[in-house]
Amino acid sequence: MPADLPGIVRLRDRREAMTLRVILTAARRLFAERGYARAPIRLIAQEAGVAPQTIYAHFGSKAGVLGGLVDLLDDEAGLPDLIAAAERMTDPEALLGLLATASRQIQERCGDILAIMGSGAAVDPDIAATQAEGARRNRLGVEMIIERVRGVGGRVTPHAVDIAVALMSGGVHNSLVTDAGWSHDDYEAWLRHTLATTVLSAPTTGWTVP
């Protein structure tokens, strides 16, 4: 039987994707528990049930594994689905609401990954570089939504992207959810309203303090 039949290729791709997820899940747990510096490839491989060579073959280095966590974050936060939804929307406020949903899902589902990046970036150049890449991706996503808002006729204020990125920052989320005790529903509702009132020239949305 030929080795390149479509069904066999798809099965191989699924197996590879499963292996990658197992490795990233193990690394995520170990980085959170032990810290990036004290979680060597050998230990990640042991936790994932694979050979260290498998990790090197897929990621190249421990820094590559860390970069893979950024991809995992995008997937677990549901960002591809939100991007697809944006392409079907024509209401400016609904589009900005997607940013609020994205910020909520990133913080709620992947806060541990963000914490790994934040705690280690100041002392480890690998983590700092990966954190910077995550921030770049985040800004590109915001820029895409703001351009979509303009494309459907929404009028946005100057520096709309800068404002949205600042409002969606982890510091704002932590201040409201971690420190002030807001629920993630409250946070998302507030962010949806605040993005509309600060980014759009004439928003219509309303919001009350929880």
Helical H runs in 77-121? 79-86, 92-120
Percent of the chain with pLDDT over 90: 70
- Checking if the pLDDT of 210 tops 70, the result is no
Q: Percentages helix, strand, coil for the chain, rounded to the nearest 5?
A: 75, 0, 25
CA distance 87 to 24: 30
Angle of helix 160-167 relative to helix 184-199, nearest 10 degrees? 170
Last residue of a domain, one of 60, 90, 109: 60
Position with higher pLDDT, 207 vs 51 = 51
User: Is residue 70's pLDDT more than 90?
Assistant: no
Q: Are 45 and 77 part of one and the same domain? A: no
Examine the pLDDT at 64 and tell me if it is beyond 60: yes
Say if residue 31 is in the same domain as residue 113.
no
In DSSP terms, which residues pair with 156 in a beta bridge? 200
Q: Can you give the CATH number for the domain in which 39 is found?
A: 1.10.10.60
Same domain as 20, residue 98: no
Say how many residues make up the chain: 210
Q: Taking 80 as the threshold, does the pLDDT of residue 78 lie above it? A: yes
Structural domain boundaries, residue 137: 68-199
Looking at the fold, whether 96 and 192 belong to one and the same domain comes out as yes
Kindly tell me if the per-residue pLDDT of 13 is higher than 70.
yes
Domain boundary among 60, 94, 111: 60
Grade residue 17 by pLDDT with cuts at 50, 70 and 90: confident
> Are 88 and 3 part of one and the same domain?
no
Has residue 205 been placed in a domain? no
Tell me how far apart the alpha carbons of residues 77 and 75 are, in angstroms, rounded to a whole number. 5
| pLDDT tens digits for range 81-120 | 999 999 999 999 999 999 999 999 999 999 999 998 888 8
Tell me how far apart the alpha carbons of residues 72 and 24 are, in angstroms, rounded to a whole number. Answer: 8
Residue 126 is inside which H or E element, if any? Answer: helix 125-151
128, 48: one domain: no
Pair (39, 105) in one structural domain: no
Q: Identify whether residues 119 and 39 lie together within a single domain.
A: no
If asked whether residues 138 and 195 sit together in one domain, one would say yes
Residue 139 counted as domain residue: yes
pTM: predicted TM-score of the whole model, two decimal places:
0.84
Does a structural domain hold residue 143? yes
118 with 171, same domain: the answer is yes
For residue 6, what pLDDT is reported? Answer: 52
End-to-end alpha-carbon separation of the chain, Å? 63
Q: How many structural domains are present in the chain?
A: 2
Q: Confirm whether 79 is domain-assigned.
A: yes
Indicate whether 206 belongs to any domain.
no
In single-letter form, the type of residue at position 53 comes to Q
Q: List pLDDT tens digits, range 119-160.
A: 888 778 888 988 998 999 999 999 999 999 999 999 999 999
| pLDDT (mean) for 31-44 | 92
More confident residue, 203 or 104: 104
Q: What is the Cα–Cα distance from 58 to 128, expressed in whole angstroms? A: 21
Domain check: are 72 and 21 in the same one? Answer: no
Asked if residue 85 and residue 53 are part of one domain, the reply reads no
Q: Tell me the two tokens of residue 123.
A: 């002392």
* pLDDT for residue 121: 83
Quote the percentage of the chain above a pLDDT of 70.
Answer: 90
